[in-house]
Structure 1
Amino acid sequence: MAEFVLVPGAWLGSRAWDEVVPQLRTAGHGAHPVTLSGLAEKQGVQTGQQTHVRDIVDEVERHDLHDVVLVGHSYSGIPVGQAAERIGDRLARVVFVDSEIPVDGESFASGWWAGREALEASIAGNGGFWAPLTAPDFDGQGLTDEQIARIVGGSTPHPGTTLTEPAVLARPLGELPATYIKCLLDGDEPNGDVAKLLAGSEHWELVEMDTGHWPMFSQPRELARILHRSAVES
C-alpha cells in the first residue's frame, strides 16, 4: 500500500491530520504527518520556502519511503509540488487539497487574492509573520464550533518568508500524476493555474468535496476515503 506524507497548510502543524491518519492506517497505508519548520512545535526555527521543501523531502528520505503519496493542503501545495519532483521514482502521486500549486519563479504572495502588496504589508505589520485566522474567519466553511476551536487553538504565526520566496521547478508540473481536491464551500472552481493543468494534462484529475477549505477537520473520513482511492488507482 501507499506511504502518505501529509503536509498541513498555513499556521498549522502535523496534528491537523489527527483524524485522517487513523483512517489511512486502518486501510493498510503508512501515514506520516509533517510539521513544517517555523510552525507549531517547530516555532523559532529560521525558515524559508525551500526549507519547507527540504522538510518534506527529508521525511521521505529519513524513513526510506517508497510508493509515496504527497498530500499538500492550502499553502503547502507549493512546497509539496516542488518536493514531488525531487523525490524521483519514490513518488506514486501528489494530492493537492484545495491548495495553491507552485509556479516556477512565482510565490504564494504572487497569487494572493487581495494583491501581493496587501499580503506583504500584513506580514511586515506582524513582525515578519502571517497572523493566524480568528474564529469568525471560519464562518461558512462547514465546521462545527468545536472544529473551529481546534483549528484556532492549533494555529501559530506563519513565517512570512515562506510566502514571498519564489518556487523553483525543474519540469512542468503537469507531468506529475496528481489529484486536485476542490472544496466547494470555498469556491466552485479551482484557480486559473490549476484549471489549466486539469484541462491540459492527462495526468491530473479533479475531485470535488461538498465542504469548506479545511476538510481534514470538517470531513476527515471522506477525505481519507478520497486519499485511499487516489493511492489505489495510481
Structure 2
Amino acid sequence: MDILLIGGLWLDASAWDAVASAMREQGHRPVPVALPGQGDGSTSATLDDQVAAVLTAVDAADRPLVVGHSAACTLAWLAADARPDAVAGVALVGGMPGSDGDLYADFFDVEDGVMPFPGWHAFEGPDSADLDEEAKASFSARAVPVPEGVSRGVVRLTDERRFDVPVTLVCPEFTPGQAKEWLEAGQMPELARTRRLEYVDIDSGHWPMFTRPAELAALLAHVAEGL
C-alpha cells in the first residue's frame, strides 16, 4: 500500500528515512512528503503551499494511508478533507487536527519571518524523555525553521465527508486513555465527529520516527493492512 509520511514542525522528509526503510521491507510503498519551507531553503512558503504538496502526493498515489506527525496531523486531515474519496485512511502520530479557522501552528515566537526550533526547554518531560543528549543535538542541528506563512496559516475545512475517512490516533508521549479523556472534554472536536476512530499506543516520546522507527513502521503497516 502507498503510505504518505508527513513530518511535523522543523522536520524535512529525511526524518522518515529509517521508518521508510522498514516499511519497504514489509512490502509497502512509503512516500516521505517534502514540504515547501521545510528543507528546500524557502522562507516564503505558506500553509497552502504545503497542502498543495500533500495533495500532489495523494493524487500520485493509489488510495494511500496518509500519516501526519505532530502539527502535520492537520495536514493529513486537510488531505482527507480535500480528497475524501482518494484517501484510504489517516494516521495521526502524536497530535490532533486543527479545526476550520484555527491557525495551523502558531505555537512559538516568529523571528525574521520564521519560527525557529525553540530549544529543548519547551519539550521537557515525556516529549523528549527517550532522546539522549546526542540525539537532541542532532535534532537541533537539522531543525528547519518554519516559515511564518506556514505556522500562522489558517486551516480551512469544507467537506464533511472527511468524517467518513478511518482515523487511527497513534499515542506516543500520551496514552490512549488520556486521548479519550481529551476527546470527551471537547478538546479534539474534529476527531469527535469521525465515524471510525481507533487508538494505538507506542512507548516513545514525541518523535518515534527517531527513537522507535521499526516499531512505528510496523504499527503503521498494520494500520494500512486493516483498511
How high is the TM-score relative to the length of structure 1?
0.83
- 1:209 aligns to what? 202
Q: Deviations over 1:70-112 (max 9, x none)?
A: 11111111122111232343311111111230311112357x5
* Secondary structure in 1 matching 2:88: strand
Distance 1:161 1:198, change over 3 A: closer
- 1:168 aligns to what? 156
- 1:131 aligns to what? 116
**Structure 2, unpaired ranges of 5+:** none
Check whether the contact 2:43–2:114 (CA below 8 A) recurs between aligned residues: no
Q: How far apart, in 1, do the equivalents of 2:119 and 2:224 lie?
A: 34
| 1:128 maps to amino acid | G
Write out aligned runs for 1:76-225 (5 A).
76-109=72-105, 112=107, 119=108, 122-123=109-110, 126-135=111-120, 137=122, 139-140=124-125, 141=128, 142-172=130-160, 173-184=162-173, 189-190=178-179, 191-192=182-183, 195-196=188-189, 201-225=194-218
* Secondary structure in 1 matching 2:27: coil
Check whether the contact 1:178–1:204 (CA below 8 A) recurs between aligned residues: yes
Q: How far apart, in 1, do the equivalents of 2:115 and 2:210 lie?
A: 21
Check whether the contact 2:167–2:194 (CA below 8 A) recurs between aligned residues: no
- 1:32 aligns to what? 31
| 1:87 maps to amino acid | R
Q: How far apart, in 2, do the equivalents of 1:83 and 1:158 lie?
A: 20
Check whether the contact 1:16–1:151 (CA below 8 A) recurs between aligned residues: no
Q: How far apart, in 2, do the equivalents of 1:231 and 1:194 lie?
A: 27
Instruction: Give how far 1:16 is off.
Output: 0.6
Distance 1:96 1:194, change over 3 A: farther
Check whether the contact 1:107–1:163 (CA below 8 A) recurs between aligned residues: yes
Instruction: Give how far 1:129 is off.
Output: 1.1
| 1:222 maps to amino acid | E
- 2:61 aligns to what? 65
How high is the TM-score relative to the length of structure 2?
0.86
Distance 1:138 1:70, change over 3 A: same
Instruction: Give how far 1:67 is off.
Output: 2.7
Distance 1:84 1:208, change over 3 A: same
Distance 1:199 1:58, change over 3 A: closer
Distance 1:11 1:171, change over 3 A: same
Q: Deviations over 1:108-127 (max 9, x none)?
A: 357x5xxxxxx4xx11xx11
Check whether the contact 2:116–2:146 (CA below 8 A) recurs between aligned residues: yes
**Structure 1, unpaired ranges of 5+:** 113-118
| 2:93 maps to amino acid | V
Deviates more, 1:180-189 or 1:11-20: 180-189
- 2:15 aligns to what? 16
CA RMSD of aligned residues (A): 2.4
Check whether the contact 2:99–2:190 (CA below 8 A) recurs between aligned residues: no
* Secondary structure in 2 matching 1:91: coil
